[in-house]
Amino acid sequence: MNAPMSAPISTPMATADVYAKTALPETGLRNYWYPVLAGWRLGRKPKAIKVLGEDIVLFRDAGKIHALQDRCPHRGAQLSQGSCMYPGSGTLTCPYHGWTFSGESGRCVAKLMEGPETAIPPTTAVKSYPVKEHLGVIWLFVGDMEAVPLSDDQPECLAEDSTWHGFSTWRTYQCNWRVLKDNLCHDLHAPFLHRNAPELILQPIFPHAVQLQAEPTTDRRGIGYKARGGINKADYPGLGQFPPPKETWYRRLKPTGRGKDIDPTKSPAVVKYGYLHRQSSLLPGITLIGRPSGDYFMCRWVVPIDATTTLFYTFSRFRRRGALATLRDRLQWIFWLSWTHDWLFSDQDKRVLERVESQRETLSRTDTGVAAWRRFVAEHARRPPTDHQADHRAAAE
Amino acid sequence: MNAPMSAPISTPMATADVYAKTALPETGLRNYWYPVLAGWRLGRKPKAIKVLGEDIVLFRDAGKIHALQDRCPHRGAQLSQGSCMYPGSGTLTCPYHGWTFSGESGRCVAKLMEGPETAIPPTTAVKSYPVKEHLGVIWLFVGDMEAVPLSDDQPECLAEDSTWHGFSTWRTYQCNWRVLKDNLCHDLHAPFLHRNAPELILQPIFPHAVQLQAEPTTDRRGIGYKARGGINKADYPGLGQFPPPKETWYRRLKPTGRGKDIDPTKSPAVVKYGYLHRQSSLLPGITLIGRPSGDYFMCRWVVPIDATTTLFYTFSRFRRRGALATLRDRLQWIFWLSWTHDWLFSDQDKRVLERVESQRETLSRTDTGVAAWRRFVAEHARRPPTDHQADHRAAAE
Amino acid sequence: MNAPMSAPISTPMATADVYAKTALPETGLRNYWYPVLAGWRLGRKPKAIKVLGEDIVLFRDAGKIHALQDRCPHRGAQLSQGSCMYPGSGTLTCPYHGWTFSGESGRCVAKLMEGPETAIPPTTAVKSYPVKEHLGVIWLFVGDMEAVPLSDDQPECLAEDSTWHGFSTWRTYQCNWRVLKDNLCHDLHAPFLHRNAPELILQPIFPHAVQLQAEPTTDRRGIGYKARGGINKADYPGLGQFPPPKETWYRRLKPTGRGKDIDPTKSPAVVKYGYLHRQSSLLPGITLIGRPSGDYFMCRWVVPIDATTTLFYTFSRFRRRGALATLRDRLQWIFWLSWTHDWLFSDQDKRVLERVESQRETLSRTDTGVAAWRRFVAEHARRPPTDHQADHRAAAE
């Protein structure tokens, strides 16, 4: 395991440049894979999407999915209004003058209105995006370098389909992706904002005032959070108790003491599977939240659409432990988690996040994880190889 | 009484800088009290409003109203989505991480997720606004200095609740506040635009081509208008008569000669009460229009929301003259004035004003009052005391 | 006949500045007549329109139509909210203070609120636009010079009402006028985009891969297109045949060989009437498309509203050849052309054009006509006479 990050990460801190939201690019981190669309939503018609501010057309031909820049270089028509006119050829044809592009390379392979003899220079092309279908979801690599393998960008519970099963949902948020990702950095908004969430009706409220430590994950794809201590209630002078005892009738049903199981050394997740963190943030905008059992992870993927819109993809992943357990997991998700978590619980955040505006923040003790995440991104986000590196590699081959 | 303002005020004039609309601040005059919301509209939930371009949250706790900047300094959430979690404490709690602010001072008094022991620097605060409830309306002082007493900014008919009674209505206009206030400077649009207003069905049309004089009011809070002369009809060569005789059937019902009662020396308002002006414009954007009886004033308050939206608050104020007169006044307002004036009459203006656009105006004879108002504002609007003045005062104490 | 334009016009070409869309003004060519409104749509109430980015009010008084700038110079109200208060005088009165403007000259002839004696300087005026009603349509000259005769800007089939009859329709496109006009420059989108248009259900598809030549028209108002060669189908290697044989069932009904009649030397249009071009583009944004018979023209007029909106006026014009032919023409238009062409056929373009965006184009063989049009406009668009020319003319008179 790596050494924990330097001291400032786990102490309160002022807003410094490296922790500022704006240290991260407004339309997202390039050169990563992102989930962009449920596979079943792409039928026979090409589909226009926007990811990281880029207009992209997806189309499916002969069982393969392709992704191209959604703009014809000829006269600027939208390729997604066109069609796969020649099924099986893996091409998409512009609706306006019939320029036809290879889904694989992006090159223009025919200008239908000019006859078959027309010579087409290889520079007549649109950008093509690496694309894959995995777990019923279409994944896109958006960036300026050759794509890495898809599995490089996926946590184990997504990459290993034979060991894990599950469901995915998505939601569109009217906020910048950084605001949404900040919300997922173990910033202790949960014990407050979600204290009355229906999903937690029989569970204790999360403890607050915990001591949070952020450290790089062993694979160095991100940072993991360790929370220690924390209290379940407290008296605030001049105000009263938190949580307010009479706020809802059903809090009387709640057991107490969830704080106990925060110790990362005792849960099955640690003892049986060796997971070091219950929650972690991975590049490019992934949040992985596990249960103490080690048999369930929620993998939530923040996908920037543009500067003010974000796609929020949630994968609920259960460890395969036999047919009966799988059936139980599925029923639990369908009849309980799908609506109490992905819908009701998350909408408590959505309502707040869509109104967040912050030219100037005041980061505080609870924002250790937020600051650590921003700093990690600023230092570790993937960048295209420089020419020097590329030369080096070429020489080595 | 003060001397009338210098000659140019009452003569036609070209557009000079001091008379330009843009000499007045686009989002309104700061450092004044403004009516912002009917008291009954603020219930148990905090309410977001915008005044002079500032986002403000109003909340009511333990019988007192508070007004704070509607943005949490922590991570930028909207305080108006929060709640008065600790009733009786006069605080408002942010929905996101539970930062709790004093309505009185704006200071953060608790960060609920950090435990009661957290030290909070006094600079962790939001702006708090002086606020009062008066005449069933919530009043806010928006500016950059200590609030003056509310009564300093109110004409007598509003300040003296024991002598006057009445009603208030409001309307939102999609135009800049300056366009709406210009409309209320006795600019002689009324004899034209309102010539067929149902409210005036039995009254003569206001005379036109009057001689208008603008002079400071005795309390120097604004300017008063004096109109002399004027005609009820005229023949325009090549066109015909104004008002056009056959324009509406019901104008035949109108008596003639309202021009007579313009003489400011004869009405009960003057003789009995000593009012010098039937109409005046007061800082920060008030129009006071009286009847010759001196027993009724309409006080119309232009409240800038932002550069393109304006709240228009109208107070109809009747002098208390015994229970029977009060009953008659109330019935008159409810069954006649409320809809013929505040609704139908004013909507004739609203329709025109919401389409006004003027990069360049051509002020003319009728705009004496408009020019005088703009000049008065440029010269007399309240400004925060400079350091020098403040030192001076401190020394005197 | 003039010599054809220089070589580059009829060969493929790279995007050069003179061919760039932006070489043409974004809000349209000034100093031309434009059709702006069906005459029957202008009743007793003044009507606000926008042409070439200018807000204009049209009004009809005593059988004459006038067009003025739709903004009162006094305080910026919208004149189109006013009325023709003095019928027969050809004036329009502002709704706010009654300033009254001559429709003929634009001069202010009365300030109704200031009395009839007020002196009004001749500079108090709004811009007035030359306007005419012709073929049931209101035409406006928008520019910065004295209007040319309306017939100067009209093709013969519109100018000569005694020889031609017909109908007109209009449609509003949410795109820049240049994008729409480009679409009408014989750019060979038709054999592709309209290949399955219901209007052409019994006709062959237009041939593609034709050789297009663009040359100035004899009257030098624009350019005419000559197409030679072309093919009705072809095999594209790796793709298949164009048009795809199984695309629609009803293509089996189509006859073949429309390519034959492209030869411009054989049709009645040439032999009988001497027309040199089946299709031409005329200034300021007119497309004239004739049938081989020479007895029918479609005259389509692109009228810029503002930078992102365009009015598309279509005149279907039939040669008068006796009452029976006229009846047949009218029935054909009403029951067939009106909806299959002006509606269904053109909406295939509208759908594509409203999504076109092109910072950078790749003009190609099919864009010979587009490039020629842009170049023609850049070189030949009407400009107001310079002072020197004006002096010259004045001296000659």
Q: Please provide the average confidence, as pLDDT, over all residues in chain A.
A: 90
- State whether C112 and B365 contact (CB < 8 Å): no
CB contacts of C74 in chain B (<8 Å) are: 361-364
pLDDT at A264: 61
Answer whether C356 touches A (CB < 8 Å): yes
Residue A361, classed as helix, strand or coil, is: coil
What percentage of chain C reaches a pLDDT higher than 90? 77
Query: pLDDT-derived band of residue A392, with 50, 70 and 90 as boundaries?
Result: low
Using CB atoms and an 8 Å cut-off, which of residues 47-76 of chain B contact chain A?
71, 73-76
pLDDT at A397: 47
**What would the mean pLDDT of A44-63 be, rounded to a whole number?**
97
Answer whether B234 touches C (CB < 8 Å): yes
Of C356, C363, C364, the CB nearest to A114: C364
Neighbours of C221 (CB within 10 A): 21
- State whether B110 and A187 contact (CB < 8 Å): no
Q: Cα(C393)–Cα(A308) distance, rounded to whole angstroms?
A: 59
- State whether A362 and B73 contact (CB < 8 Å): yes
Task: Identify the weakest region by mean pLDDT among A378-387, B317-326, C68-77, C336-345.
Answer: A378-387
What percentage of chain A reaches a pLDDT higher than 90? 77
Answer whether C352 touches A (CB < 8 Å): yes
C237-280 pLDDT, tens digit each:
999 999 998 888 777 776 654 445 556 677 888 889 989 999 99
- State whether C74 and B362 contact (CB < 8 Å): yes
CB contacts of B361 in chain C (<8 Å) are: 73-76
What φ, ψ does residue A20 adopt, rounded to 5°? Answer: -70, 145
> Side chain identity at B161, as an amino acid letter?
D
- Which chain B residue has the Cα nearest residue C101? B239
Which chains does A contact via 3+ CB–CB distances below 8 A? Answer: B, C
Residue C44 has pLDDT above 60, yes or no: yes
Q: Cα(B224)–Cα(A22) distance, rounded to whole angstroms?
A: 53
Q: Cα(A261)–Cα(C112) distance, rounded to whole angstroms?
A: 84
Mind spelling out the 3-state secondary structure of B31-66?
CEEEEEEEHHHCCCCCEEEEECCEEEEEEEECCEEE
- Best B75, B107, B109 residue to mutate vs chain A (most A CBs within 10 Å): B75
Contacts of C117 (CB under 8 A, 6+ apart): none
Of C77, C96, C116, the CB nearest to B234: C116
pLDDT at A254: 67
Neighbours of A20 (CB within 10 A): 17
Integer CA distances (angstroms), B136 to B132, B140, B141, in order? 10, 13, 16
- State whether C112 and B357 contact (CB < 8 Å): no
pLDDT at C204: 77
pTM, two decimals, is 0.91
Answer whether A11 touches B (CB < 8 Å): no
- State whether A95 and C242 contact (CB < 8 Å): no
Using CB atoms and an 8 Å cut-off, which of residues 179-198 of chain A contact chain B?
179, 182, 187-189, 191-193
Q: Cα(B394)–Cα(B385) distance, rounded to whole angstroms?
A: 12
pLDDT at C6: 36
A249 or C144: whose pLDDT is higher? Answer: C144
- State whether B98 and A242 contact (CB < 8 Å): yes
Task: Identify the weakest region by mean pLDDT among A245-249, B48-52, C306-310, C373-377.
Answer: A245-249
A18 or B126: whose pLDDT is higher? Answer: B126
> Side chain identity at C386, as an amino acid letter?
T
Residue A248 has pLDDT above 90, yes or no: no
Q: A–B: how many Cβ contacts below 8 A?
A: 93
Residue A389 has pLDDT above 70, yes or no: no
What are the per-10-residue average pLDDT scores of chain B (397 residues)? 36 51 90 98 96 98 96 97 97 98 98 95 97 98 97 96 97 97 96 92 85 93 93 93 87 60 72 92 97 94 98 98 97 96 96 92 94 95 79 53
Q: How far is B238 from chain C (nearest CA, A)?
A: 7
- State whether B115 and A351 contact (CB < 8 Å): no
- Residue A198, classified by CB atoms within 10 Å of its CB into exposed (0-12), middle (13-18) or buried (19+), is middle
pLDDT at B61: 96
CB contacts of C91 in chain B (<8 Å) are: 239
Answer whether A236 touches B (CB < 8 Å): yes
Q: How far is C90 from chain A (nearest CA, A)?
A: 47
Of C78, C113, C124, the CB nearest to B362: C124
- The one-character DSSP state at A387 is H
- Residue C40, classified by CB atoms within 10 Å of its CB into exposed (0-12), middle (13-18) or buried (19+), is exposed
Neighbours of C353 (CB within 10 A): 24
- State whether B193 and C71 contact (CB < 8 Å): no
Of C235, C360, C370, the CB nearest to A116: C235
A258-302 pLDDT, tens digit each:
445 556 677 888 889 989 999 999 999 999 999 989 999 999 999
Token pair in block for residue A135: 């777990």
Of A247, A355, A366, the CB nearest to B77: A355
Which chains does B contact via 3+ CB–CB distances below 8 A? Answer: A, C
- State whether B208 and C113 contact (CB < 8 Å): yes
A170-179 pLDDT, tens digit each:
999 999 999 9
Answer whether C112 touches A (CB < 8 Å): no
- Which chain A residue has the Cα nearest residue B97? A189
Q: Cα(C188)–Cα(C200) distance, rounded to whole angstroms?
A: 16
pLDDT at A23: 82
Secondary element (H or E) of residue A43: none
Residue C41, classed as helix, strand or coil, is: helix
- Which chain A residue has the Cα nearest residue B55? A357
Task: Identify the weakest region by mean pLDDT among A348-362, B173-187, C123-137.
Answer: A348-362
Q: How far is B314 from chain A (nearest CA, A)?
A: 32
